[in-house]
Amino acid sequence: MAPISVGDSLPDGQLGWFDENDQLQQVSIHSLAAGKKVILFGVPGAFTPTCSNQHVPGFITQAEQLKAKGVDEILLISVNDPFVMKAWAKTYPENKHVKFLADGVGAYTKALGLELDLTEKGLGVRSRRFALLADNLKVTVANIEEGGQFTISGAEEILKAL
């Protein structure tokens, strides 16, 4: 399947998420994104160096600026279980706006066409690193990295596009 691109509609899918009351929920992307401007960004794995030290912190520290430019939701997706995503989210106590969503078996990542096979590194099939900007489910920016690179999918690149 070809990767999602500008002009495509975000597919719907169910992802695991611990809500503000610490209750595990299954939430649909369409329920979070319909009628809104959203950033959907994905990383190969929780607690991995580039994801934890650069990619995620960029969206957390730039969240207010992104919101000021009209972004309603900032959604992080990783092919990890919801308990791992919850533990990872807790390592960012300053986070007020980024939702950590779990794509446990990678079904949503596959629907986006953004799988990355890291089996040789012992990680199985994960997500490519990416950042999408969507307005009412329509993709307006699709910054998708090659391999393990981190050059175009950061918060700064999305800010430039807004």
First to last CA, the chain: 28
Q: Nearest 5°: phi and psi at 89?
A: -60, -35
Q: Which two tokens stand for residue 82?
A: 């919801």
Beta strand spans in 3-129 (E): 14-18, 24-28, 37-43, 73-78, 98-102, 115-117, 125-127
Q: What is the DSSP letter of 9?
A: B
Residue in this structure with the two tokens 């992080």, named with its chain if needed: 76
Q: Which residue, among 70, 72, 16, 80, has the nearest Cα to 43 in the 3D structure?
A: 80
Q: Can 85 be counted among the known catalytic residues? A: no
Catalytic residue among 15, 29, 32, 51: 51
Give catalytic residues, as residue numbers. 51
